[in-house]
Amino acid sequence: MSPKHSREFLTVQQHILLQQHEKAPGASGQFSWLLSGITIAAKIIADRVRRLGLFSLSGAAGAENVQGEAQQKLDVFANDILLRTLGMRDSVAILASEENEEPIVCNVGGGGHYVVLFDPLDGSSNIDCNVGVGTIFSILRCDGEGRGVGGESAVLQRGAQQVAAGYIFYGSAVSLAYTTGSGVHLFTLDNAIGAFVLTQEHVRIPQRGGIYSVNEANSLSFPEGYRRFLEWAKSKEAGPYSSRYVGSMVADIHRTLLKGGVFFYPPTAKAPEGKLRLMYEANPMAMILEQAGGLAFVGGDRRRILEVEPRSLHQRTPLIMGSPEDVERVVAFL
């Protein structure tokens, strides 16, 4: 292999450029510049997560976000960093975050081609006890008009229209997974050189994982099929099923991607539409898992998450996603 096409010591930045070079030789490089905004923010957030107690950044910020959830100081910090690193990229037309009620119009009509949606810090309830958290992002093309209040209607596109999606997982190592629709690629932050280095190209999710991941404490208010699945999963007939639930979606999906299994968040009495947000949690994770050979459905009707027509930026959706065989198992009970 010529040095130009070597996969050794490849940073995420180089990987994106290489992919563009292979698929769209005339690409302007704007897209990779945009993604570099995300990786710079991720490195800053990772650093703060690592040294949390030292920065008086732990604990609640004293405010609530649009979902009526208590914001943690780190939620606010991560959001500010992403808004800053992405907001100065000319290619960004609109930014939309879990922490902001309305989308933020940056550069519509002046060369901005992309809408970037993100959950700046996922798993905030886990921050103060040193459990893995993450950042999730979804990228859509902008039609250039930025219609509606703050451009909301430009943002409301189906997940199938995402041009890229990914997450950063601040765990015992910092991992980054991204897809632009040609597979899922995994990188690890090498602190010594300050770059995300390729660790696995074209990741494939196992066909079956034998792990279920759900907040089982809510199970009494799950629709009946989910309860029957959970009963079955504990039976001899099901074979060995294990249960793993971190409570940070990024951590649970990262494990699901690598080890297989099924992650689901059904409707509950408290959250009749499920808890997770369609636009910046469910859609990007659905694209990642599908690109790795997995499935991502809304419920028992096997409707793909990526086909849901969004009505509002912060809408929620129930979801079942992961290895094909484990997902089909849950669906069979619904």
Residue (70 or 160) nearer to Mn ion, CB = 70
The binder of 180, among Mn ion, ligand AHG, none, by C-beta within 5 to 8 A per type, is none
Rounded to 5 degrees, what are φ and ψ at 51? Answer: -115, 35
Residues 6+ apart with CB under 8 A from 209: 256, 259, 260, 261, 262, 322, 323, 326
Q: What's the min distance (Å) between Cβ of 122 and Mn ion? A: 3
Residues 52 and 58 sit within 8 Å (Cβ to Cβ): yes
- 290 lies in the binding site for Mn ion (CB under 5 A): no
Residues that bind ligand AHG (CB under 6 A): 69, 98, 119, 122-124, 215, 247-249, 275
Residue (249 or 292) nearer to Mn ion, CB = 249
The binder of 152, among ligand AHG, Mn ion, none, by C-beta within 5 to 8 A per type, is none
Q: Encoding tokens for residue 166?
A: 């990914």
Residue (113 or 255) nearer to ligand AHG, CB = 255
DSSP single-letter state for residue 254: H
Provide the mask over 94-113, with x wherever binding to Mn ion is found by CB under 5 A and - wherever it is not: ----x---------------
- 152 lies in the binding site for Mn ion (CB under 5 A): no
Residue (31 or 167) nearer to ligand AHG, CB = 167
What one-letter code names the amino acid at 289?
L
Residues 6+ apart with CB under 8 A from 332: none
DSSP 28-63: -SHHHHHHHHHHHHHHHHHHHHHTGGGGT--SEEEE
Rounded to 5 degrees, what are φ and ψ at 35? Answer: -65, -30
The binder of 215, among ligand AHG, Mn ion, none, by C-beta within 5 to 8 A per type, is ligand AHG
- 122 lies in the binding site for Mn ion (CB under 5 A): yes
Binding site for Mn ion (CB under 5 A): 98, 119, 121-122
